[in-house]
Amino acid sequence: MADRAGAKKKTAAWTRKEGQNSEGGLNEKGRKSYEKENPGSNLKRPQPEGGKRRDSYCARSAGQMKKFPKAAKDPNSRLRKARRKWNC
C-alpha cells in the first residue's frame, strides 16, 4: 500500500518508549532495532556483576553526569536509571 501524503513515518523502537526499559537502558526490542539501523553494531545487555564492560560504562557515564547536571540530580532520569542498572 502506498504512503498517504502527510503520513508520518514511524521512528525506530530504540528512540521510542516501546524500545526502552523502564528501569534504564534498552530492552531487547530496542537493541534489535538499533542493530537493524546500524549494521555491524552488537549491543549487549547490562553487565552489573562486574567486568571490563561495566568498568568502561561506569567511567563513560560519570562523564555524562558532569556534562548533564540536571539529569545527574534527577533520580528518575534515564542516565541515573541506567547507572543503577549497571551498579555504578
Distance (Å, rounded) from C-alpha 88 to C-alpha 72? 13
Identify the residue whose cell numbers are 514511524: 10
Q: Say yes or no to pLDDT of 6 above 60.
A: no
The length of the chain, given as a count of residues: 88
pLDDT for position 17:
86
pLDDT for position 8:
66
Q: Do residues 21 and 86 make contact, with C-beta atoms less than 8 angstroms apart? A: no
Q: Where are the domains of the chain?
A: 13-45, 48-88
pLDDT tens digits, 56-86: 999 999 999 999 999 999 999 999 999 998 9
Distance (Å, rounded) from C-alpha 70 to C-alpha 62? 14
Average pLDDT of the residues of the chain: 86
pTM of the model as a whole: 0.68
Distance (Å, rounded) from C-alpha 18 to C-alpha 41? 20
